[in-house]
Structure 1
Amino acid sequence: MTDSPQQPTPQPQQQPAAGAQQPYAAAPPPASGAPANAPVPGRTLGIVALVLSFFIQLVALILGIVALVQSRKVGASNGPAIAAIIISSILLVIGIIVLVLFFTFGAALFGGLAAACLELGPGTHTLQGGGTITCS
């Protein structure tokens, strides 16, 4: 004699009455895949990056990218992170341009003053253009 598992006999399903609503087995999930009241990952980091983008652009750029990646993993948007990336990128480029210009023209200006002080010696000297220079 062989023991074979008995298969359950299918039960007839009852049809709901006409016009009656069928109840859900479970509530439909939110569109983003996360609970509606759960915090978006990276949102706080995006806000921190946005604030830092006005002061420390390189750090803000890195934090903004990290916050954006965290938010995109769960399919959420992160406006503060995008704004931080844009603002810190623009300010970083402007800062680099200003730094290059400062070193270019500043070195020429201060290099000329240093050469004049080497030539004239220590003390206060009146220049031909009407200005004065003090060398130590």
Structure 2
Amino acid sequence: MSNDATPESGPAVPPPYEPPAAPPGYGAAAAPAAAPAYGAPAVPAPAQPPAYAPAPAYPQAPAYGQPPAYPAVPSYGYPAPPPGPKTNIMAILSLVFAFVFSILGIVFGHIALSQIKRTGEDGRGLAVAGLVIGYVVCGLSLLFVVFYVVFIVLIIGAAASSGYYYSS
């Protein structure tokens, strides 16, 4: 009970405050660091690295201008085949529009077949596929409309003969 208060001695008093040492002013040399107190050896200063050899002299770069021409590269294997006949645009459009708007796909397919017969272009298979898909989609659409109309007529007929009348 060294720092406790007792009734005879009064409250314990802390030691007086000592402010820290002021830092050195601007431009003043700092105090040298003290050696470690625990007896560790001081670190010796690092040795200077060996000097590098002088850089070799490189030749002067040529002036800007036309680069030297490269020799032709020999081609190996077979030469590229010549370009074949182009594909008929109407045949491509026939296949595309057969899914979107079947009537237009059918018209473009017939135009494409006549152009292919006259000019010899590629795309006969595309035109035939556009025609077939266009006719199938058109037929299915027509069947859907017929069944829809018959269904509506049957519903109206069933509602009319049901016997329920609303009177106002």
- Structure number with greater Rg is 2
Distance (Å, rounded) in 2 between the aligned partners of 1:47 and 1:118: 57
1:102 counterpart (123, 136, 148): 148
**Which residue does 2:58 correspond to in 1?**
none
**Which residue does 2:28 correspond to in 1?**
none
Distance (Å, rounded) in 2 between the aligned partners of 1:36 and 1:82: 24
Structure 1 residue runs of 5 or longer lacking an equivalent are: 1-34, 123-136
1:75 counterpart (110, 115, 120): 120
- When the two structures are aligned, how many residues end up with a matched partner? 86
SS in structure 1 of the partner of residue 100 of structure 2: coil
**Which residue does 1:50 correspond to in 2?**
95
Distance (Å, rounded) in 2 between the aligned partners of 1:76 and 1:45: 11
Structure 2 residue runs of 5 or longer lacking an equivalent are: 1-81
For normalisation by structure 2, the TM-score amounts to 0.43
- State whether structure 2 residue 110 is matched by structure 1 residue 65: yes
Describe the superposition over 1:38-88 as per-residue Cα deviations: whole angstroms up to 9, x where unpaired. Answer: 534xx1111112111112111110111101110111233422111100100
What's the CA shift for 1:120? 2.5
State, as a whole percentage, how many aligned pairs show the same letter: 21
Greater per-residue helix proportion: 1
Greater per-residue strand proportion: 1
Query: Aligned in 2, Cα 1:50/1:95: closer, same or farther, shift over 3 Å?
Result: same
Q: Report the RMSD for the aligned CA atoms in angstroms.
A: 2.8
Runs of 4 or more consecutive aligned structure 1 residues displaced over 6 Å after TM superposition: none
- State whether structure 2 residue 79 is matched by structure 1 residue 39: no
Distance (Å, rounded) in 2 between the aligned partners of 1:56 and 1:73: 26
Quick one: which amino acid aligns to residue 66 of structure 1?
A: I
Query: Aligned in 2, Cα 1:62/1:118: closer, same or farther, shift over 3 Å?
Result: farther
What's the CA shift for 1:116? 6.5
